[in-house]
């Protein structure tokens, strides 16, 4: 399979016919020399309508967490952006609906096989963590993220960078003092500019 054939299959799949009817394309980024995989939840409405992944306040915060420029972040030969669903799932009673359960299982594997140079996977939010850390997560998202050292050096779980998570961050100051420096060091190393660090 190729990147183009996978994209064509995603678009043509009957489960995604509703998106094709609305003119929406699958929202992800992948390149053959990608070094870091960002596994998120699903595109927000604004990102889906713009056709640009992480095109919102959450994206700006994520760039700050990673310590990279937008030019670096948008380079598919540096970052693979693979949400758990490549389409905005719609609005629910208490926020956006969750990503479809079968989506990542169907499409992530073939895409990741085409990106053998990935050395760091960043898991954003509980859906990504439950899928990629099956059987290895802690009791809840906070405990999983707090135990980030258990998953080093190739995986780092983080919370969603939504501005709505400011209360969580205020209750968990270790995220900024302990996790973010390690995250930035691992990103720098994965991008090819290693810095000495002990975790």
pLDDT in the model for residue 93: 77
Q: Is residue 195 part of a domain?
A: no
Q: Is the pLDDT of residue 199 over 50?
A: no
Q: Is residue 197 part of a domain?
A: no
- Phi and psi dihedrals of 176, rounded to 5? -80, -40
Q: Is the pLDDT of residue 196 over 90?
A: no
Q: How many CB atoms sit inside 10 A of residue 2's CB?
A: 10
CATH classification at residue 128 = 3.40.470.10
Q: Is residue 169 part of a domain?
A: yes
Q: Is residue 102 part of a domain?
A: yes
Q: Is the pLDDT of residue 42 over 70?
A: yes
For the record, the structure tokens of 38 come out as 């960002």
Q: Is the pLDDT of residue 194 over 60?
A: no
Beta strand segments in the chain, E: 36-39, 79-81, 91-92, 95-96, 120-124, 155-158
Per-residue pLDDT reduced to its tens digit, 58-108? 999 999 999 999 999 999 999 999 999 999 988 877 778 899 989 999 999
Instruction: Give the pLDDT band (50/70/90) at residue 193.
Output: low
State the Cα torsion 185-165-151-193 to the nearest 10°. -20
| Rounded mean pLDDT, 161-166 | 90
pLDDT in the model for residue 172: 98
Q: Is residue 73 part of a domain?
A: yes
Q: Is the pLDDT of residue 167 over 90?
A: yes
Q: What is the mean pLDDT of the chain?
A: 93
Q: Is residue 198 part of a domain?
A: no
pLDDT in the model for residue 7: 97
* Greatest Cα pair distance in the chain: 51
Contacts of range 95-102, beta carbons closer than 8 Å, 24 or more positions apart:
96/42, 96/44, 96/45, 98/41, 98/42, 98/127, 99/41, 99/42, 99/127, 100/15, 102/15
Domain that holds residue 124: 3-190
pLDDT in the model for residue 94: 73
pLDDT in the model for residue 176: 97
How far, in whole angstroms, is CA 24 from its chain's centroid?
A: 20
- Indicate if the alpha-carbon torsion angle 54, 71, 130, 85 is positive or negative: positive
Helices 3-12 and 103-113, axial angle in degrees (round to 10): 160
The pTM for the full model equals 0.94
Q: Is the pLDDT of residue 197 over 70?
A: no
Q: Is residue 16 part of a domain?
A: yes
Residues in the chain: 199
| Rounded mean pLDDT, 3-8 | 97
Q: How many domains does one find in the chain?
A: 1
Query: Is the peptide bond between 134 and the residue preceding it cis, with omega within 30 degrees of 0?
Result: no
């Amino acid at each position: 399979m190729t990147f183009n054939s996978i994209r064509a299959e995603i678009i043509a799949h009957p489960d995604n016919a509703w998106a094709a009817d609305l003119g929406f394309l699958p929202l992800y980024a992948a390149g053959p020399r990608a070094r870091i995989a960002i596994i998120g939840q699903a595109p927000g409405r604004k990102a889906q309508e713009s056709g640009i992944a992480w095109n919102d306040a959450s994206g700006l915060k994520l760039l700050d967490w990673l310590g990279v420029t937008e030019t670096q972040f948008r380079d598919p030969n540096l970052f693979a952006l693979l949400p758990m669903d490549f389409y905005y799932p719609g609005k629910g009673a208490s926020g956006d609906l969750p990503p479809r359960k079968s989506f990542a299982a169907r499409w992530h594997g073939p895409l990741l096989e085409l990106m053998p140079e990935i050395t760091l996977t960043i898991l954003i939010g509980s859906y990504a963590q439950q899928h990629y850390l099956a059987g290895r997560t802690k009791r809840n998202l906070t405990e999983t993220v707090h135990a980030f050292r258990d998953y080093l050096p190739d995986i780092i779980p983080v919370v969603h960078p939504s501005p709505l998570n400011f209360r969580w961050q205020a209750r968990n100051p270790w995220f900024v003092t302990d996790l973010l420096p390690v995250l930035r060091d691992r990103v720098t190393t994965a991008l090819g500019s290693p810095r000495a660090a002990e975790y």
